[in-house]
Each structure stands twice: as C-alpha cells, then as structure tokens.
C-alpha cells in the first residue's frame, strides 16, 4: 500500500526518513520536534546547528542518529492565522519540498506527522485534507511508501460535513443480517434475469468461469484505463499488481478487490460482480462496506479520501 494513515509515535518508526515539524531555527522545540530530538540524541542538534535555519514551506535533511529512521527531513509549517495568509499554499509546499528531497535521496519510505496541526494551530481536519491531497497527487507519478502518522485519537478529525454525511448514510442503510439474505437473493435473481435476457448463454458461461484476475484485466480494458493508473488509483503497489496480473488464480483480500473497484470507478453492481469473482459480497451490516458504498454512491473515487473516512471510523484501509 503506497499510502497509509497510521496511529503511532513517529520517533519509533523504521523508515528511510521521518519528517520533523520544526521551526525556523531548526534548533528544537516542543511537540513532535522535541520528541524527535530527544529520541535522536544530541548529534541531531549538532548537525541542525550547521544548517542555518529553514524558511516556512522549505525542508532540510539530516541523519537520524539514534532513531530507527535513517534520516530526518525538517520542514517548517505555517502558523495558522485564520487561513487568509497563504497558510494552505505554505503547508502544501512543506509536503512537496519534503517529498522532493525524499526522491532526490532515492528513499523508499517516509513518515509524516500532521505538520502545523499542533502548536502552530492549523485546524486538524484541514491539515489532513492538505496532506492527503499533496500526497495523493505526488503518488500518481512516484513510487514511494508514505505514512501519515496520527499521534493521538483526538488528532484525527474528519471534516464535520463529511463525518456527518457518512454517519447519516450508515444509520440510514444499516440493516441486520437477516435482511441481507433476502436482499442478496433479490440481487441474484436480478442478475440471472439480466443475464438471460441480454446475453447469450455462451457469454454468460464464459463470464462465470472467469477468475478474479481475468475479470479485473477485462474491466481495466473495458474502462479504458492503463495498468499503472489502475494500481496507483487502487493504492496497491506495482509488485502486488504484477502478481495478480500474472497469476490467473490469484486470491486477493477483500480490501484489495474493493480498492480495484474504486480505482476503476465501478458502480455498485459492477463492484458486487468484481467481489463475487473473488468469492466475496457486500454487506449492509458492515460499517466498512457502508462507508465504501457511500463513496461509490457519491461517485467519489478518491481512494485516499475514502481511506481517510475509513480511518476515522476505525476501519481497515483499502489497498492492502
């Protein structure tokens, strides 16, 4: 999974680099900055002293010293002043300049804290939106494992509007298990009817025999997508995708199947078909499934935004 939101203490992470939300002096401070300096030891401060500070939106790199991460990229986020002083542009620049440094150093993995969202006062829901937007854009043309690290439960806030809509969708559509059985039966009958009336028996038999991998490849073609676009939009790494492509009988996890249906912008019925090929179904008694269904019904196929909502509702993320 190239992009993952995780709950952790960033100082404990093993990655090529962790990112420090620093200040202009680069000489340490509170929050995550203080924690990183404490865990890295005095060597980090000594190296920071040689850097001559850092401007807002820019980034500088040092070694990681006693940290498990090999390097630290220090970036200076904007102080929130109500949102009218170019804060968003500066915050985007922090993520961007850090990611560019990571590419220059051929890093394979990097972990970000939610820059500016503590002492600097950037509203957390907006800070998360900025992070997700820059990171997802960046991943469309780079291969890198990026972690967005959320430190405490309170730190992760979905925008109020999205949270309310997803919650309302869940409570409006949640059904007990026994209703599902009937619904699935109705659905199966519908499919059967559709199959009989619209397609020849040969076509139906051929499609029935299709494996998940074959079905996926056919759908990629049908939707006019490329392989790269598909696995990127599915938040699946290249290696896993080639495995699926080359193994006709590959058995994917449920989250992987849904990730591909999001990547291909499948509607609900097409999603159900793809799941069925892998031996799964959608259930309206699962919060996870309802969240996915909400985004499909809204035609919002941004996998990272879906993962943001899944994370906020304590669900597994898509693309694993």
Least spacing, CB of residue 10 vs ligand AR6, in Å? 4
From the number of C-beta atoms within 10 Å of its C-beta (0-12, 13-18, 19+), residue 272 rates as middle
Least spacing, CB of residue 127 vs ligand AR6, in Å? 8
State which of residues 45, 51, 119, 180 lies at the interface with ligand AR6 (CB under 6 A): 119
State which of residues 117, 235, 256, 271 lies at the interface with ligand AR6 (CB under 6 A): 117
Residue 57 as a binder of ligand AR6 (CB under 6 A): the answer is: no
Nearer to ligand AR6, 95 or 295 (CB): 95
Nearer to ligand AR6, 96 or 245 (CB): 96
Residue 43 as a binder of ligand AR6 (CB under 6 A): the answer is: no
Taking the alpha carbons of 208, 213, 216, 217 in that order, is the dihedral positive or negative?
Answer: negative
Least spacing, CB of residue 77 vs ligand AR6, in Å? 4
Least spacing, CB of residue 26 vs ligand AR6, in Å? 9
* C-alpha distances in Å from residue 85, one per residue of 54, 88, 98, 271, 276: 19, 8, 21, 43, 51
From the number of C-beta atoms within 10 Å of its C-beta (0-12, 13-18, 19+), residue 302 rates as middle
Residue 128 as a binder of ligand AR6 (CB under 6 A): the answer is: no
Least spacing, CB of residue 96 vs ligand AR6, in Å? 16
Residue 116 as a binder of ligand AR6 (CB under 6 A): the answer is: yes
Residues β-bridged to residue 110 = 17, 146
Q: One symbol per residue from 139 to 178: x for binding ligand AR6 (CB under 6 A), - otherwise; what is it?
A: ----------x-xx--x-----------------------
Q: One symbol per residue from 184 to 223: x for binding ligand AR6 (CB under 6 A), - otherwise; what is it?
A: ----------------------------------------
Number of residues that bind ligand AR6 (CB under 6 A): 25
Taking contact as CB under 6 A, which single stretch among the options 18-26, 49-57, 214-222, 266-274 is the one that binds ligand AR6? 18-26
Residue 23 as a binder of ligand AR6 (CB under 6 A): the answer is: yes
Residue 118 as a binder of ligand AR6 (CB under 6 A): the answer is: yes
- Supply the residues annotated as catalytic: 33
Place of tokens 């009817």: 193
Residue 123 as a binder of ligand AR6 (CB under 6 A): the answer is: no
Residues binding ligand AR6 (CB under 6 A): 9-11, 21-23, 29-33, 35, 77, 113-120, 149, 151-152, 155
């Amino acid at each position: 999974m190239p992009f993952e939101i995780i709950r952790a203490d960033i100082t404990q992470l093993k990655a090529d680099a962790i990112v420090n939300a620093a200040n202009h002096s680069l000489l340490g401070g509170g929050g995550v900055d203080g924690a990183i300096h404490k865990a890295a030891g005095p060597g980090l401060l000594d190296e920071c002293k040689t850097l001559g500070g850092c401007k807002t939106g820019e980034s500088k790199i040092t070694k990681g010293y006693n940290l498990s991460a090999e390097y630290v990229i220090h970036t200076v986020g904007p102080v929130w002043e109500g949102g009218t002083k170019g804060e968003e542009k500066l915050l985007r620049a922090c993520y961007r300049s850090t990611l560019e440094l990571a590419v220059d150093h051929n890093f394979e993995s990097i972990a970000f804290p939610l820059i500016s969202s503590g002492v600097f006062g950037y509203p957390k829901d907006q800070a998360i939106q900025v992070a997700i937007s820059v990171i997802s854009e960046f991943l469309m043309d780079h291969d890198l494992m990026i972690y967005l690290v959320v430190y405490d439960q309170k730190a992760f806030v979905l925008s109020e509007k999205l949270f309310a809509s997803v919650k309302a969708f869940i409570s409006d559509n949640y059904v007990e298990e026994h209703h599902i059985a009937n619904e699935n039966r109705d659905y199966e009958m519908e499919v059967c009817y559709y199959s009989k009336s619209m397609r020849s028996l040969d076509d139906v038999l051929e499609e029935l025999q299709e494996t998940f991998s074959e079905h996926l490849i056919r759908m990629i073609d049908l939707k006019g997508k490329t392989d790269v676009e598909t696995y990127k939009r599915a938040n699946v790494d290249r290696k896993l995708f080639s495995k699926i492509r080359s193994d006709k009988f590959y058995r994917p996890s449920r989250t992987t199947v849904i990730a591909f249906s999001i990547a291909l912008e499948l509607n609900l019925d097409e999603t159900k078909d793809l799941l069925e090929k892998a031996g799964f179904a959608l259930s309206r008694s699962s919060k996870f499934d309802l969240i996915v269904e909400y985004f499909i019904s809204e035609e919002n196929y941004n996998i990272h935004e879906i993962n943001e909502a899944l994370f906020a509702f304590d669900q597994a993320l898509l693309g694993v």
